Structure 1
Amino acid sequence: MAKTTKVSATHESSGLILHISGLLPSLSPAEQRVARLVVADPADAARRTITDLATAAETSEATVIRFCRSVGMEGYPQLRIRLAAEAARRVEPPDARVVGGDIPPGADLAQIIATIAFNDARAVEETAEQLDPAVCEQVVDAINGASRVDIYGAGASGFVASDFQQKLHRIGRIAFYWPDVHTALTSAALLGKGDVAVGISHSGTTSDVVEVLQQGRARGATTVALTNFPRSPITEVADYVLTTAARETTYRSGAMASRLAQLTVVDCLFVGVAARNRTKARRALEVTAEAVQTHRVGAARRSK
């Protein structure tokens, strides 16, 4: 029997703009033009007639209707109502120069700092807002009961995978991070029922991570995907899908806001697992902290 993938977020619970942003890569080119207009300025899009929006997106009214259905709306009137509500609840940056997260040519360092800080904070907040606690609970259950946990990621996502492995290892969970695709594949081939494989990919299209997760699933392991895009290829080989809500901006593709959003999810899972084994986890953290204490500057002086 085919497994049913469980996803952590829907547009009903997480906000329409986040939902559209996550679906953008799966839309047709014409629908993507509509989506970018909607995401860039929900209030302006809500004021437009269907003809106005189609003209601005250089497409047809039929495409706008297809876009509405692709993002879960019955039609354009419902989309306008949802966009108006979204615009009303949107939090704007305190600095008027921080617009959309993009850093314009000639921006001074103060503007760069304000832009990065605002968008990184928003990525963390919106990721937490759209996470489904029920799906997270099921992932924590799977990890808590797993014989072993294999974690995979490449590039910036690899740093997050390594961080997750280290966190789980410190509380006594058997966990491995495999940065090389060959060793990852050989490890995944040895997984089985009762094991968990976690694949981390912001785009959800990193072939190495998708392939390894697919291998783990074929061997009977429970598979978990952490991605920004709920219709990306990695979700097709995952039993559980956890999504982030990072919006990449100038100079920051796949490296900053996405990494912070992923770390937010990883920390939630880690604390969830630790909370199931509170006494054991606390003791493990104390023992591992003691093991490296002598390697801290001034430790010997403080112990006297």
Structure 2
Amino acid sequence: MRRRFFLPTAPPGAGAPLRFARDAPWLAPLAGYSDLPFRLLCRHYGAAVCVTEMVSAKGLVYRSPGTGELLQSLPGDQPLVVQLFGGEPEALGAAVTSLRAAGYAWFDCNMGCSVPKVMRQGAGAALLGDEARALACARARIAAAAPGRVGFKLRLGPDREHIVLPDLALRLEDLGAGWLTLHPRTARQGFGGSADWEAIARLAERLSIPLLASGDLLNAEDGVRCLEQTGASAVMYARGALHDPAVFAAHGALCRGERTPAADAASLRAMIGRHVRLAREHAAGDGALWKMRSLVPRYVRFLPGVRVLRQRLCRCTDWQELEAALDEFFGGAGAH
């Protein structure tokens, strides 16, 4: 059956204020992963704000099938920021206008994605190499959404020879950006090398709007250390959340001065069980099952028997088989 375009109406609470605080960690937009079930799982563990997967502005304007599915949400999934990508000001403005009409309140502009298929569209980190177009795209979004309701995800620049910060960040602030997020690597670096947290600290000193820190936050200790070293307003977990959605609970505990208990088999089984229930309830089609088969090995990567579990999961064709594989794993090697 061919999918049809639909634009879901934002649920009540979509206009709830965003939190920018040391103890208010955000969930990053994770392409292919930060769907509604995953966001609800992260919120259960303490994610203060979640960002959708990247949504194509052109996809919304031209009513591309499947685009609206990325925007599914619930009252318990608020506040929610919609991340849009695109390189054409007109399409970006039109997309934000349609989303505002549907009740969505907060938006993020991706100027940091270095994936080639995104950059070939003149979107994502490609905008870092064309300041005039980047600012035109920013003006279009802010005009459609209102000042303060749009954030911008940035990298340092296209490469080390062309660093665009802090100039671009300050221009965006002047245009009416509500907040900025910095992943302190260049587009050419991708995820290689180390994130330059000192660049976050330097930018935080120059801005009067909130700055979210991203990059190399693989656990809660990294997140809290980043806040202490950079003076950022809050942190945004990406890979750290993808490997352990309970990172948000650990982050909150550290901020309260409490010790964070190490994950054990029982807590991991409970977390995976919750994710499975959310996926079965809120995600349609077989895609949710295929996604779960790839996520579970990440969650239990430190337990013995993961390789055998991964092989068995790859053969699972329904939820019952997946649950049986989990029961066997946690009742055997995974429970030790």
Q: One fold, TM greater than 0.5? A: no
Q: Which has the higher helix share?
A: 1
Say which one has the larger Rg. 1
TM-score normalized by the length of structure 1: 0.31
